[in-house]
Chains A and B, each alone.
Chain A
Amino acid sequence: MKRPSGPFLLLVLLLILPLILRDAYYQHLMILVLMWVAIGSGWNLISGYTGQVLFGAAAFFGFGAYTAALLSSKLGISAWWGLPLGGILSVAIAFPFGWICFRLRGPYFALATLALNEIFRHIATIWESLTDGMIGILVMQTFISKLPYYYVALAIAIFSIVTVDLVMRSRWGYYFVSIREDQDAAESMGIDTLHYKMLSLCISAFLIGIAGALYTNYMGFIDPKVVFSLHEISIMAILVGIVGGVGTIYGPLVGAFIMVAVQEIFRTGGFGILHFIGQSTGWPFMSGIIKYVSEAHVLSFGILVIVVILFLPNGIVGDWSLIRKSLVNSKKPAV
Chain B
Amino acid sequence: MAFFKVQGIVKFFGGLAAVNGVSFEVKEGEICGLIGPNGSGKTTIFNLINGYFPLTKGEIQFQDEKISGLKTHQICQRGVGRTFQVVKPLKRMTVLDNVIASAFLRHHPRSDAIKLAEETIEFCGLTHYKDKIAKSLPIASRKRLEITRALATQPKLILLDETAAGLNPHELEEAIALIKKIRDSGITIIIVEHIMKVIMTISDHIVAINHGMVIAKGSPTEVVSNPEVIKAYFGEDYRA
Contact = CB atoms under 8 A, between A and B. Distances in A.
Interface stretch (B17-25, B70-78, B206-214): B70-78
30 contacts: A169-B110, A171-B113, A174-B100, A175-B101, A177-B90, A177-B92, A181-B91, A182-B88, A182-B91, A184-B84, A184-B88, A185-B88, A185-B89, A185-B90, A187-B73, A187-B76, A188-B50, A188-B73, A188-B76, A188-B81, A188-B84, A189-B105, A189-B149, A189-B150, A189-B153, A190-B73, A190-B102, A191-B73, A191-B101, A193-B73
Given A174-B101, A178-B90, A190 B153 contact: yes
Nearest to A177: B93
Q: How large is the interface on B (under 10, 10 to 19, 20 to 34, 35 or more residues)?
A: 20 to 34
A128 interface: no
A192 interface: yes
Nearest to B92: A181
B234 interface: no
A170 interface: yes
B74 to A, nearest CB: 8
A184 B149 CA distance: 13
B90 A187 contact: no
A178 to B, nearest CB: 5
A238 B100 CA distance: 30
B73 A177 contact: no
B52 interface: yes
B105 A190 contact: yes
Contacts of B72: 187-188
Contact of B101 (A169, A177, A192): A177
B3 interface: no
B170 interface: no
A171 B76 contact: no
B4 interface: no
Interface in A171-220: 171, 174-175, 177-178, 181-182, 184-193
B5 interface: no
Given A188-B76, A193-B73, A175 B90 contact: no
Contacts of B93: 177-178, 181
A184 B105 CA distance: 16
Interface in B48-104: 50, 52, 71-74, 76-77, 81-82, 84, 88-93, 97, 100-102, 104
